[in-house]
Structure 1
Amino acid sequence: MIAKIDEVIERAVIANRMDTITKEMGYALERSSRSPIFAEACDFACGICNGDGDLVSQINGIPILAAAGTFSIKEVIRKYSGQVEEGDVFIINDPYQGGNHLPDIGIITPLVVDEEVIFYCVSRAHHGDIGGSVAGSYNAKATEIFQEGLRIPPIKLVSKGQVINEVMDLITRNVRNPDMLQNDLWAQIGANKIGVRRLKELIHTYSSSKVKETVGYLLDHAERLTRQAIKELPDGDYVGEEWVDDDGFQLNPIRIKVTVRIRGEQMTLDFKGTDPQVKGFVNSAFVTSTTAAWIGALWALGSDIPRNSGAFRGIKVVLPEGSLVNPKDPAPVTLSTLTPASEIISAIFQALSSIKGVQLPAGFGRYCGPSFYGIDPRTQEFYVGFAFCALGSGGGTLGRDGYPYMAPLSNYGGVRAPNIEANEIQYPHLTLCHEMESNTAGSGKWRGGAGIRYSILFQGEPTNIVMFGDGMKIPPFGAASGKSGSLNYVEIKTVQGETICLASKESTRSLAHGTILTVVSSGGGGWGDPWQRDPERVWRDVLDEIITVDKAEQDYGVLIGQEGVDWAATNDRRSGNQR
């Protein structure tokens, strides 16, 4: 019995140590990187995989990036089987060969002990520019992946500790900000190096055989928890649908359909019925779609299940070839980690929310905003930036209002809103407004998070913007009789005073010095009947300017007087059900 308890404690120590290592990798990456998208927005994820490429531990960073690391490593193993040596570092970004989309570059570093690869450390991060025909690499008018940037298959960047300069030069020669990209690659390599060092220390303490045995146990344990959670759900077929606004070429909505089949301890996510791949860049390649499907399923199955490859074993994902969620090479895919990855998760939510006892949130806002680039008049240096301060908000769920600033669903708050003052130093624009917008939160017993109004004044001649995103036609869905959230809205006001509304997907537009851009992002969907919301909560929302007095009466049946809730009028209105 004593030995058994010791073994349990030892496994827990090793498991927690690996989680700590991934966190340390993330801290190192954040603090050593140079670009705002790394250091400010933290658009990255770090993980540890075993020698077979199975994900063992991951940092709580960007969900859509973290689990994808296992695919990249398995591509490295497939290509370099028997050729992986101590001191090697691999690089990859090709969505059709283990990557998400081209801006997300994966750096993979093996840990070799006695000529055996025990672990791989992986950092995957979004770089500000990876070439292609548009700075920032979000080309809303791309019709093939070659127009989106540089494709990097799994290749060695470092061999036995020596940088392969020809590979580094080839990559940096094809991007617009080579020094920044190279610095961020060094940051990723350094983060992995720390991971390898800490894993060596772990093996030195417990031996490679003990650590490998524990990893096997952790994967099997996650599988058991997943299958048990699936078994507790009633067998059946559950169908969910979600829609993408359009692809920027044709204006019709694009359907994502999923049938969730539960049979005993097995769950299958079958996307048959999803619309065919499209011309524009909203296609989602196999890795991104599979990762999004895992996120949606595990969210429903419970937070106590470790997010590793063992958990994925009980979840089968079927992605019809040639569809929006599994396009054929060379279809463009850059928007995929935002849309439709979030809508894949959303479709699964809507399918599984019909099961009694499964508690899932209402719809989340979708990302919609510009990248912007040009020459900074203060320094005469080229810059590329993104409107991360205009993120949308999350949907309400049983017992809790939706969080603001949590969208899109595929990132779930992983992308941080940059500091306004830092943003104004890094980019030649001035922030005029950054606040929650009234009457954007989806009404419900538990309302959605409010959307964000973000206005900036561009300085410099010219500033170029490219619009990318979704959610201008299809709002975040309401759940359990809750109301839907608001739509995204983007406009520019020219120096002549003209107001121009922008579409969610637009090619490069040049703006004159003094142009003002305003984004009003989506509020999340509401959960539950709004008329069941506590009137005191409605009053607090009025005080906080989340909703107006008229909205309180119209959607919630709550009448507000000078002193707060008019209880007599509210009770009369609600009892009469005068909706």
Structure 2
Amino acid sequence: MEKQISAPRADGVRTAILSSRFESIARKMQNTLFRTARSGILNTAHDFSCVILTPDCRLLAAAESLPSHTLTGPDIMCRTVKRYHPDLKAGDCFLHNSPYEGNSHAADHCLIVPVIDAGGTLRFFVLAKAHQADCGNAKPTTYVADVADVYEEGALIFSAAKIQSDYKDNEDLIRMCRARIRVSEQWWGDYLATLGAVRIGERELLALGGEVGWEALEDYAEDWFDYSEKKMVDAIARLPSGKRTVYTAHDPFPGVPEGIPITADVEIDSEGAMIRVDLTRNPDCTPTGLNLTEGTSSSAAMVAIFNGLIDHTVPVNAGSFRRVEIRLRENCCVGIPRHPASCSVATTNLADRVSNPVQRAIAEIAPGFGMAETGPIMPPGMGVISGRDPRHENEPFVNQVHIGVTGGAGTPVTDGFLFIIHAGNAGMCHIDSIEVDELHHPLYVAGREMQVDTEGAGTFRGAPSIRAEFGPIEDCTMKVLYTADGSKNVALGAQGGGPGAPSRALKAEKDGSLTTLPPCYGAALLPGETIVSYSAGGGGYGSPLKRAAERVLADVKDGWISPERAREVYGVVVTGSRADDSLTIDAAATGETRARLSAEKTGAA
């Protein structure tokens, strides 16, 4: 494919101004949802996304949305709305969460509104995707991995269902959700928050069209896509051409006792300005809830590409997407699922097992680009808690918590993002406030702390693990459901970087004894019992012997690595004590140690 880009139809200043206007509209949508949602997964963890698409369903603006939600999927979902509802009208709104038609997983309820001008012409789509605390699953969790199919999963599935006409609710659908969802009032509040977001987007776009004219906005969209494509062309041109095949595997799991091997074939075509990822050489859909959707399969590869470019001036939209090709196949666990395969956990576990090898492949092809692997996902520290709250007349509660997750991967220019949570959301979700969690739920957090010597060592290290311990308050029982990966297959480093530590899950009994828990579990906790979660550490990038000694010293001072690890892995000899703040580098001993370790490594190679 040639690198030629169309000549712009408008001046750059106007394009920049309109780009800012569209991003501000997407941010208004997000701010509305964030400030008015009821469930903690939305108003604390920020697990939602708001986007604007063109009338032909191309992603135009996404503000601070989750990549796993938005890079691919909204386009498919809006095309689904057009296919089932060709006569769109002002006041329409559609509820869509079908994993077989573009959505991420059933727990992500999407509201889609066509923006229709006064003359009845479709001008844009606005879409808000909000992760639900409960979506009607057979178990009180939005992540059900140990199921054979969607029937066993049990979630309500809506395929472009019209939930509003002429701005009025379809009470039939509302009753269905209220009857099936355990925390119906919480769902209702989240529905209203999401509805407010899309209606504000609709209002603002209609006002913008009236202000500058619809033709000007059409020209802007094409100019913005062309500019974005050119930025992507320039970014790819900085990389060498090459191909790599990288392998990884999800841990053994109920339904897949040998685990799930994943292969990613990655090609950088610098001259043709294309990056291609082939995921077709992977297993068929599995009898688990781990299968990816078309949207999450593509988005998982694309987030690794955009991160791996190390150029965040490239706009993320349908224009830059022209230079990325993702090959998928039907009935593949990291491809396009066929009904009735369950995709309950499609945003996290296997999605990260696509992102990680792609970003590591870029690092192998192009040193100075790409990333190491991000820590595998979903320890109990981000499990779904449920039960009845004795403080509020035993009302049921269900919510996902983000009490303790780290895992950021080392990059060519930075240490791992400490609280990235996982590769697919790229750090856009938030870690919970302990005080807010304890206020909202009958939950007691016994503590959380970083774990020493758990980082993937490197010139730029991965994030260390975090330990989190929590359980129910007195007079309360609590179930914690989680679907952890990474206790066996850890995050690998890139360009000589080391692996991160594995994840772990334990139950602390009333007598203080600890019981090791399996990777997929629903732990029922009684008062006085807690669950102990260790998140996975992130992989390191580059040789640890090349890490700046001052950075190693800072990590020792922070208690993230021990003096012994500093000496044996990084070759940095630290003297003194943390107790009296006298830690310092022995420069002469460090030079000798690094020379010895380097020679040993060279000899071993």
The TM tier, using the shorter chain, reads over 0.9
Partner of 2:286: 278
Cα contact 1:492–1:500 (8 A) shared by 2: yes
- Single out whichever of 294-303 and 399-408 deviates more from structure 2: 294-303
Q: State the Cα distance separating 1:540 from its structure 2 match.
A: 1.6
Match runs of 1:108-507 below 5 Å: 108-113=112-117, 114-148=119-153, 149-231=155-237, 233-263=239-269, 264-301=272-309, 302-326=311-335, 327-356=337-366, 358-367=368-377, 368-369=379-380, 370-379=383-392, 380-459=394-473, 460-506=475-521
Q: Which moves more between the two structures, 396-405 or 176-185?
A: 396-405
Q: Secondary structure at the match of 1:313?
A: helix
Q: Secondary structure at the match of 1:456?
A: strand
Distance 1:540 1:266 in 2: 40
2:586 to 541, 566, 569: 566
| Aligned-CA RMSD value | 1.8
Query: Which consecutive residues of structure 2, in runs of 5 or more, have no partner in the other structure?
Result: 1-7, 577-581
Q: How far apart are 1:277 and its partner, in Å?
A: 2.1
Q: CA deviation at 1:469?
A: 2.3
Whether the 8 Å contact between 1:241 and 1:351 is mirrored in structure 2 is: no
Task: Give 3-state SS (helix, strand or coil) of 1:65's partner.
Answer: helix
Query: Greater CA deviation, 527-536 or 154-163?
Result: 527-536
Q: Which amino acid aligns with 2:114?
A: P
In 2: Cα distance, 1:357 partner to 1:574 partner = 22
Q: Helix, strand or coil for the counterpart of 2:385?
A: strand
Per-residue CA deviations over 1:37-68 (Å, capped at 9, x if unaligned) read 11111100100001111110002121111232
Q: CA deviation at 1:271?
A: 1.1
1:389 alignment partner, SS class: coil
CA, structure 1 residues 527+261, in 2 after alignment: closer, same or farther (shift >3 Å)?
A: closer
How does the TM-score come out when normalised to structure 1?
Answer: 0.95
Which residues of structure 1 form unaligned runs of 5+?
Answer: none
Give the distance between the partners of 1:566 and 1:233, measured in 2 at CA: 39
Q: CA deviation at 1:267?
A: 3.1
Q: Which runs of 4+ in 1 moved over 6 A?
A: none
SS in 2 for 1:388: coil
- Report the secondary structure of 2:122's partner residue: strand
1:39 maps onto 2:43 in alignment: yes
- Aligned partners of 1:126 and 1:304: how far apart in 2? 28
Structure-2 change in CA distance of 1:249 and 1:26 (3 Å): same
> Does 1:70 pair with 2:75?
yes
Q: Hey, what's the Cα distance between the residues in 2 that align with 1:425 and 1:356? A: 48
The alpha carbon displacement at 1:228 in A equals 4.5
SS state at 1:167 partner: helix
Report 1:536-547 matches (<5 A).
536-547=550-561
> What CA distance in whole angstroms lies between the structure 1 residues aligned with 2:324 and 2:459?
32
Secondary structure (helix, strand or coil) at the match of 2:205 reads: helix
Give the counterpart letter for 1:418 in structure 2: D
Q: What secondary structure is seen at the aligned counterpart in 1 of 2:21?
A: helix
CA-to-aligned-CA distance 1:297-332 (integer Å, 9 cap, x gap):
233343222111122222221112222112322111
Give the deviation of 1:487 after TM superposition.
Answer: 0.6
Overall identity of the aligned pairs, in %: 26
The one-letter amino acid paired with 1:413 is: G
Q: CA deviation at 1:528?
A: 1.3
Aligned-pair CA distance for 1:346:
1.1
Paired with 1:481 and 1:47, the residues of 2 have a C-alpha distance of: 38
Query: 1:527-575: per-residue Cα shift (whole Å, max 9, x none)?
Result: 1111122222222211110011211122112222224222332222222
Task: Answer with 13-22 or 246-255: which moved more.
Answer: 246-255
Amino acid at match of 1:278: T
Q: 1:77 to 1:26 in 2, by over 3 A?
A: same
- In the alignment, is the contact (CA less than 8 A) between 2:148 and 2:255 conserved in 1? no
Aligned to 1:457, what secondary structure does the other structure show? strand
Which whole-Å CA distance do the structure 1 matches of 2:420 and 2:443 have between them?
Answer: 24
Query: How far 1:247 sits from its partner (Å)?
Result: 3.4
Give the 3-state SS of the residue equivalent to 2:139 in structure 1.
Answer: coil
Q: In structure 1, how many angstroms separate the alpha carbons of the residues matched to 2:31 and 2:453?
A: 37
The Cα shift of 1:6 comes to 7.5
